[in-house]
Structure 1
Amino acid sequence: MARAVFLVFFGLAGFGILISLGTWQIQRLSWKQDVLAEIDSRISAEPASLPMTPDPEADKYMPVMVSGTMSDAELHVLVSVKHVGPGYRIIALFQTDDGRLILLDRGFVATEDKTATRLTGHMTVVGNLHWPDEIDSYTPEPDVAGNTWFARDVPRMAAALGTEPVLLIARSVSDPDITPLPVDTVGIPNDHLQYAITWFSLALIWAAMTTYFLWRTRAKPESRGQ
């Protein structure tokens, strides 16, 4: 009897904890969806002028329109695009009409087009400010001599090209041979539904195992009585 009471208590406690974890993940899912919707709305808003002192937190994803001169000074970031393959992001030096120097992510070119001649000169570009967090302990050091970078390190790239630590990611075409890779929320992880399903599945398994052990506990005395 005591063993059965313990199994019931232990089973209910474990089931309750697993259900609460699954419920928490559902709440997190709702919160994350609201965050992503807010970011999507911010990304697609009407473009404004480049702020005088862009803030990496407050101005992240801010849509901006700039006019100025596209330089041929550029850095190449190794990337791979789904359904396309490997290539490079072209990070160019852009001088605005009021004399400011910023980084401009023009978009993607195939590997063989790394050193191709690109359109430069005066143009207007629409994009979104961004300070990507792409560097971890596994990120290789850039090959400065070969002009190959493995992440968009905004401060370091700005130092290399002599610009403000500001990166504008183009969503308009600045060259027909460059495919823009605009900012979006696709790369922002949202795994809370999978986590919720995992916790609820474990709760069902826990309940089934508890039921099984209770049945075994009850079945043993009955078998002895026979």
Structure 2
Amino acid sequence: MRRLIFLSLVGGLGLAALMALGIWQIQRLAWKEDLLRTIEARIAAAPVALPETPVEAQDRYRAVSVSGEVEAAELHVFWVTKTAETGYRIISPLLTEDGRRVLLDRGFVPAAAKERARATGAAAITGNLLWPDEGDWTTPAPEVDTNILYARDVAYMAERLGTEPVLIVARSASADSDVTPQPVTTAGIQNNHLQYAITWFSLALIWAAMTTYFLWRSRPKSEG
């Protein structure tokens, strides 16, 4: 009898824990889907003027429209496109009409075009503010001599180019015909909570089946 009680207790607690994890992932799924809808709405919203003092918490993904001068200085961020083409994102200073200098992610060029001269000067930019969450302790350090970065580190790029730590990712620009814009999207934001929920509920089902089996095997045997 004690064995049955022990198995029932362990089985019940394990099942409850696995079910709780599955339910938590369903809740996380709802939260993530709501977040993605909010981000997508912000990305697609009508562009506004560049905020005077952008704040990441409230301005991330905000659509903006800016006119000014694209300067010749560049930083090249190593990039691989969705079609597996390797190349670089071109980051340049943008001198706005009101005298501010901010970072502009002009878009993508193939590796063979890294050292080509690109159009500069007057431009009207429509894009989105972004504070990229890229790189970790495994990310290589920037190669200053060859001008290659491996993540869009806003603070680092701003220091190198002498701009505000503000990045606009262009989705269209009047001056660029030799750079392919790489607009901000939600494609890179992972949403695996449904798969996680299915995994936890599947484990709960297996756990329940195993518990039932062991309880059946441990039941008292009738004599005769």
Question: Which range, TM-score by smaller chain?
Answer: over 0.9
Q: CA deviation at 1:168?
A: 0.3
Mark the runs of 5 or more structure 1 residues left unpaired by the alignment.
none
Indicate the SS of the match to 2:169. strand
What is the CA deviation profile of residues 16-41 of structure 1, one whole-angstrom value per residue up to 9, with x for unaligned ones?
22111101110111011101100110
Tell me, in whole angstroms, the C-alpha distance in 2 between the residues paired with 1:24 and 1:88.
39
Tell me, in whole angstroms, the C-alpha distance in 1 between the residues paired with 2:47 and 2:34.
22
Tell me, in whole angstroms, the C-alpha distance in 1 between the residues paired with 2:3 and 2:35.
48
What is the CA deviation profile of residues 173-213 of structure 1, one whole-angstrom value per residue up to 9, with x for unaligned ones?
44222111111111112121111111101100101111111
Corresponding residue of 2:67: 67
Tell me, in whole angstroms, the C-alpha distance in 2 between the residues paired with 1:147 and 1:66.
27
Indicate the SS of the match to 1:141. coil
Corresponding residue of 1:135: 135
- Aligned residue runs from structure 1 range 19-98, under 5 A: 19-98=19-98
Taking structure 1 as the reference length, what is the TM-score of the superposition? 0.94
The residue identity in structure 2 corresponding to 1:191 is N
Tell me, in whole angstroms, the C-alpha distance in 1 between the residues paired with 2:19 and 2:81.
39
Mark the runs of 5 or more structure 2 residues left unpaired by the alignment.
none
How many residues align? The count is 223
% identical aligned pairs: 56
Corresponding residue of 2:180: 179
Corresponding residue of 1:102: 102
Corresponding residue of 1:193: 194
What is the CA deviation profile of residues 43-66 of structure 1, one whole-angstrom value per residue up to 9, with x for unaligned ones?
111101111111122211111100
Tell me, in whole angstroms, the C-alpha distance in 2 between the residues paired with 1:209 and 1:68.
68
Corresponding residue of 1:204: 205
Q: CA deviation at 1:8?
A: 2.0
Indicate the SS of the match to 1:72. coil
Indicate the SS of the match to 2:88. strand
Indicate the SS of the match to 2:59. coil
Tell me, in whole angstroms, the C-alpha distance in 1 between the residues paired with 2:102 and 2:5.
69
Q: CA RMSD in A?
A: 1.4
Indicate the SS of the match to 1:140. coil
Q: Is 2:217 the partner of 1:216?
A: yes
Q: CA deviation at 1:84?
A: 3.7
Consecutive aligned runs of 4 or more in structure 1 exceeding 2 Å deviation? none
Corresponding residue of 1:159: 159
Taking structure 2 as the reference length, what is the TM-score of the superposition? 0.94
Corresponding residue of 1:7: 7
What is the CA deviation profile of residues 152-191 of structure 1, one whole-angstrom value per residue up to 9, with x for unaligned ones?
1111111111111111000114422211111111111212
Q: CA deviation at 1:83?
A: 1.2
The residue identity in structure 1 corresponding to 2:121 is G
Please say if residues 119 and 178 of structure 2, whose CA atoms lie closer than 8 Å, have aligned partners that are also in contact. no
